[in-house]
Structure 1
Amino acid sequence: MASRAQIPVVDLGDWHADPYDDGARRHLPGHDHAHDDSPHDGSARRRLAHHVDQALQSTGFLLVTGHGIDPGLPGRLRAAARDFFRLPSDVKNAYAQCADRRGWTARDRVVTGRSEGTETPPDLLEVWSCAADPATPCHWPDEVPALRPLVAEYTDRMRGLADTVLEVMATALDRPVDFFTRHTTDPNWDFTVNWYPAADETGPAAPGQFRIGPHTDFGLVTLLDRQTGRGGLQVHDDEHGWQDAPYEPGAITLNIGDLMARWSGDRWRSGRHRVLPPPVDAPREELTSLVYFHACAPGTSIASLPAPVGRTPYPAVRAGDYLQEKMRAILADGGA
């Protein structure tokens, strides 16, 4: 059995409880640092930002609490999504992904490991996906009318949470609090509901086959609401190899994506991870993950921050082009 990874817990309550916008004040002309000991001097925010900075340098992952998300919302969304995934395949085919890759993705259509150059058999999952542009898939399933409003509510909450985290991260780098969020007023977000069927439905996994193969995410930050299971999330550590990700009820798992790693000049790690195959010793275990991918506007030029913050000077990339190239790589048919 794999060991359990050490992923720090970050309570955003400390950020919300200290309303003082320390990041904005420190960049005002003539700011007097001699008065930084006032009751609302931003010290709680600075401590939180330092904690986030240290965690992202070591693992690229966080467990986020104090986020204010309605605790019942993920369960309601999962229930609606399962109603859809349980429909017959010929019904779901009517909602299959169209040219913009929004809608339903059947099994054997995604090979996530290809994004990092790892060849595996197709991933053992089904996906419902939508995105900011276009704001909806080709069409939503008439058979499950609750799905669309629940996805809209959930993604709205995730977008707000992602921007809050980006403010914390900007503060961690001693940048203005809107250093990242000025590029996310029109974000290029994606949202997927990943359904991992049970082993008694998929049959035994092929050698090297996973629910999701090893990869790093592509954008700025990913917010994951997941269920714990034996065939669940693992993260990779250079020293210890693959480890089971810790689970805390109600916490959102956050990880850094490739664009943010490039932007930080590799100060922060793009956390490598995978989802284990369905366990044969728990043949009825099925899991559903809610995955929100936050990225900046497609036309944003991402250039590495210079030293001493950054450590690797990557050439600038256009965010939208980078994401499209990565997405094409993971489709089993090569993007046709």
Structure 2
Amino acid sequence: MSTTSLENRSGAPFSVPTVDISAYVTDAPDGTVDGADGAAARAAVAAAMDEACRTVGFVQIVGHGVPDAITAGLAEAMDAFFALDLEAKKAYRTPPEINRGYAPPKSESLSLSLGVEAASRMNDFFEAFNVGAGASAYPGVQLPAGSESDYAENTWPADAPGLDAERYRAAVQAYFAEAARVARTLTRVFADALGLPADFFAARTGHSLDVLRMNNYALPPGTIHLDGDLTGMGEHTDYGIVTVLWADQVAGLQVLDTAGVWHDVMPADGALLINLGDLTARWTNERWMSTLHRVKPPIVDGTIRRRRSAAFFHDGDIDAVIETIPSCLAAGETGFPPITVGEHIQAKLRGSRAGERNTAAERDAARVLSASS
């Protein structure tokens, strides 16, 4: 296991650990490497993951097994869609409560998902296209009444000049399947790291709210004068269990450390970035960190650089109840109040997509407001 070190403004080191998860990535029926050597390798991975989740909340993972051809296909598909005319892309917008389809620039404000009052305008200068696990992804599962919008079927683009819709869909679905596999592998690592039964997360993710958000930072390339108001993606925490991020090796992503200082982070060669979401922080009573992050306009020497990313959110079953794990509570400590995955996610989405301040995120809002600019 290794770390990628950066320097903050005070000169203190900031490190995003790199963890090789290949000991958990096999074709064995139980998803593990067999024998004593395999057990020792998994124990080392789990220990490294625990350390990273306690101290940073962001991890670079290698040994994930996602073929290069799959990520290349995803990037090609994203390029083809985002190159379409804005009005053509807007045909694939959905209502705020449907986390699918197209989101144009300045239609969201991620900071409102944290309840930050100052983020009162839809300022986030990125465009996105979302796909997710609809009801048809879980045949035979009786989904909770009223969850139709949460398990909505996808809104796929049609053929257009420069866009082969069938090829686009196949490439996105191929990456979605790989990212879902990686996310579920990570939850097995998490269970071992937390000393939980191996099926702890699997029992709560049988009909998981999984979404892939493909992002394009939609400023045109070239030199730009910033007015002090431009945000690529506002400061936020992710909502669910774990996020698997593919991204260009272009500056823009920033992570907040425990001292309130922002640091630039980008993926290493062949690595995927992962970070924990709020539900994992609630489960662990913040022993593990749901780290604040944001995206600033990717500017090098005053010039906008193009940046793309694709975030796979593994959020859990809508009706799963999230309660603090007893082993994560010290004597006399009080955990977070119980909440279902659906209640938590909907409060977050009402903030980011509908502009409604989330009043249940006091801890996170305080961290944003106290952070160094």
Fold match (TM-score > 0.5):
yes
Scaled by the length of structure 2, what TM-score is found? 0.79
Q: How many Å apart are 1:40 and its aligned residue?
A: 4.1
CA deviation after TM superposition for structure 1 residue 11, in Å: 0.3
Amino acid at match of 1:14: A
Tell me which amino acid in the other structure corresponds to 1:289.
S
2:81 aligns to what?
84
* 1:323 maps onto 2:320 in alignment: no
CA contact under 8 A between 1:49 and 1:169: conserved in structure 2? Answer: yes
Structure 1 residues 165 and 125: alpha-carbon distance in aligned structure 2, compared to 1, 3 A threshold: same
Residue in 1 that maps onto 2:319: 299
Match of 2:310 in 1: 290
Residues 221, 97 of structure 1: CA spacing in aligned structure 2 closer, same or farther, 3 A cutoff? same
Q: Residue 18 of structure 1 contacts residue 44 of structure 1 at CA under 8 Å; is this kept in 2?
A: no
- Is the alpha carbon distance of 1:281 and 1:40 closer, same or farther for their aligned partners in structure 2, counting shifts above 3 Å? closer
Query: For the residues of structure 2 that align with 1:20 and 1:185, how far apart are their CA atoms?
Result: 18
Q: Secondary structure at the residue paired with 1:299? A: coil
Cα separation, 2, equivalents of 1:104 and 1:46: 41
C-alpha contact (below 8 Å) 2:114/2:351 kept by paired residues: no
Determine the structure 2 residue equivalent to 1:28.
Answer: none
SS of residue paired to 1:140: coil
**How many aligned positions are there?**
321
- What's the secondary structure of 1:323's corresponding residue? helix
The RMSD of aligned alpha carbons is: 2.7
Structure 2 residue 15 is matched with structure 1 residue 6: yes
Alignment of 1:177 with 2:174, yes or no, is no
Q: Secondary structure at the match of 1:189?
A: strand
Provide TM-score, normalisation by structure 1. Answer: 0.87
Once structures 1 and 2 are overlaid, which stretch shifts more, 205-214 or 298-307?
205-214
Distance in structure 1 (CA, Å) of the matches to 2:216 and 2:27:
38
> What does 1:174-253 correspond to in 2, within 5 Å?
174-198=195-219, 200=221, 204-230=225-251, 232-239=252-259, 241-253=261-273
* Alignment match, 2:112: 114
Helix, strand or coil for the counterpart of 1:96?
A: coil
Q: Percent identity?
A: 30
Contact 2:298–2:307 under 8 Å retained in 1: no
Which letter maps to 2:209?
Answer: N
Instruction: After TM superposition, give the deviation of residue 149 of structure 1 in Å.
Output: 1.2
**Unpaired runs of at least 5, structure 1:** 24-37
Q: Is the 8 A contact 2:112 2:356 kept in 1?
A: no
Match of 1:63 among 53, 60, 64: 60
Cα deviation for residue 102 of structure 1 reads: 1.2
Q: Give yes or no for contact 2:107–2:353 (8 Å, CA) kept in 1.
A: yes
CA distance in 2, matches of 1:223, 1:123: 21
Task: Indicate which of 79, 83, 90 corresponds to 1:93.
Answer: 90
Q: Is the 8 A contact 2:19 2:45 kept in 1?
A: yes
- Closer, same or farther in 2 for the Cα pair 1:199/1:89, shift >3 Å? closer
The residue that corresponds to 1:138 in the other structure is 155
Where do residues 141-152 of structure 1 align in structure 2 (5 Å cutoff)?
141-143=158-160, 144=163, 145=165, 146-152=167-173
Gaps of 5+ in 2: 1-5, 135-150, 358-373
Report the CA distance between 1:113 and its aligned residue.
1.1
Amino acid at match of 1:298: I
